[in-house]
Chain A
Amino acid sequence: MVASSEMMSVGIGGMEPPPLDLDEVHVLAVDDSLVDRIVIERLLRITSCKVTAVDSGWRALEFLGLDNDKASAEFDKKNNIKKLKVDMIITDYCMPGMTGYELLKKIKVSTFPPIFDSGNNLFESLSESSSFRQVPVVIMSSENVLTRIDRCLEEGAEDFLLKPVKLADVKRLRNCLTGDVKLSNGNKRKLPEDSVTVDTSLPPPPPPSSLTLSTNSSDSSPPLSPVEVFSSPLSSPEEDDDVLTSSPEESPIRRQKMGSPGLD
């Protein structure tokens, strides 16, 4: 399932891996308010995170490669796009079109790369193949509504922040990402090691009948380079800046040894 090119990039077989940004945490921030995007971006950057800020749930799915866009998925596969590294997703709750809650649900049932059935619909499998399902999703809201908070936590949100978000809130989230992640129900789990890379131990999912990005092809799952994602004119300039500076490569082995130098 993992092609030799993937193995080379993780340093197996004595190959020199490319320089990796091991301790760089990459956060995807989603908020329809420009003011809030700028603020959350600043808060995250202060806590040493790379940030990509988008203005809607759809853009977030696009960025993650989870949208139902077969054309871009095939483009990515053809061009052997590197996989995207996202360590946390932080989203506003109240957004037009798709709420943060709806985005949370879509991420929690997602697979990557996207797999399409014969009707060209996104095949939402519950398999444990690499996806963004284990990436912590944090919800932000200006309204302190208990039922809303409960609903989000039940759907698997990592945390719920009340707006206006403060530096202390973000620092707390950041600290969670550098060690074991504590779930809201008190259980601990390891850092999501498959938020990006392919899990070599699992069998590939059954191949759908139409051409897809299925991981059982000999090329393995097509990694997604942030630059390539934005080859389509769908992003806003501010996102491009963030995207172009982030480094997508990541080794699963090194990832688990991720330390937190200089963090309070």
Chain B
Amino acid sequence: MDAHVAQLQMQYRNYILSLYQQGFLDDQFTELKSLQDDGSPDFVAEVLSLFFDDCVKLVGNMARALDQIGTVDFCQVGANVHQLKGSSSSVGAKRVKGLCINFKELCEAKNYEGCVRCLQQVDIEYKTLKAKLQDMFNLEKQIVQAGGIVPQVDIN
């Protein structure tokens, strides 16, 4: 059983490292993890869940705004991008945040095609991140169920 736990822990470590290396996460995610403790064991999961709810809502708003072909309110789109940029920054969702920075410029330039493309990318990106983090949480669960502790991963 110990060998099994050790293997899971190693898998977990490698997985987390890869998420950082591939640019999915940044040090703000590390910061969030450091705020979690035995008293608040689900803090990270809770915040991320709210973040993904935000993504659904904001992407929906932007899609609707961009649907008004000919009368697109780019300020409105930009306001939603700004919000998404903020929350992605707060949770360490590095790629989503990066896309938002581009997206903001496209809104300011009132580049319709660019905005539509960028929105598609944002949609894919947040869903990808969601799936990756779900895998991460599943690994954590497996480790705990196997009687082990979830290791702190030093990403430096």
Contact = CB atoms under 8 A, between A and B. Distances in A.
Given A39-B47, A39-B90, A142 B31 contact: no
A167 B33 CA distance: 11
Nearest to B89: A164
**Main secondary structure on chain B at its contact with chain A?**
helix
A34 B79 CA distance: 16
B9 interface: no
Interface residues of A, number: 16
B86 A163 contact: yes
A25 B40 CA distance: 21
B32 interface: yes
B86 A33 contact: yes
Nearest to B52: A35
Given A33-B86, A35-B87, A164-B89, A42 B50 contact: no
B50 A163 contact: no
A38 B34 contact: no
Interface residues of B, number: 22
A260 to B, nearest CB: 21
Given A34-B50, A34-B54, A39 B86 contact: no
A167 B92 CA distance: 14
A99 B35 CA distance: 28
Contacts of B82: 94
Given A34-B50, A142-B85, A43 B35 contact: yes
Contacts of A166: 31
Contact of A163 (B32, B35, B46, B89): B89
Contacts of A244: none
Contact of A42 (B40, B85, B86, B87): B40
B59 interface: no
Given A42-B43, A142-B85, A142-B89, A35 B31 contact: no
Interface string A147-174: 0000000000000000110110000000
B89 A33 contact: no
Contact of A46 (B35, B86, B90): B35
A38 B50 contact: yes
Contacts of B31: 164, 166-167
Interface in A1-39: 33-36, 38-39
A33 B87 contact: yes
Contacts of A38: 46-47, 50
A257 to B, nearest CB: 29
A120 B52 CA distance: 44
A163 B31 CA distance: 12
A84 to B, nearest CB: 27
A35 B54 contact: yes
Interface string B48-89: 001100100000000000000000000000010011011101
B54 A42 contact: no
A193 to B, nearest CB: 32
Contacts of B89: 142, 163-164
A40 B133 CA distance: 22
B4 to A, nearest CB: 33
27 contacts: A33-B83, A33-B86, A33-B87, A34-B50, A34-B54, A35-B47, A35-B54, A35-B86, A35-B90, A36-B87, A36-B90, A38-B50, A39-B32, A39-B90, A42-B40, A42-B43, A46-B35, A96-B79, A142-B86, A163-B86, A163-B89, A164-B28, A164-B89, A166-B31, A167-B31, A167-B34, A167-B35
Interface of B: 28, 31-32, 34-35, 40, 43, 46-47, 50-51, 54, 79, 82-83, 85-87, 89-92
Q: Which 4 A-B pairs have the closest CB atoms?
A: A35-B87, A164-B28, A164-B90, A35-B50
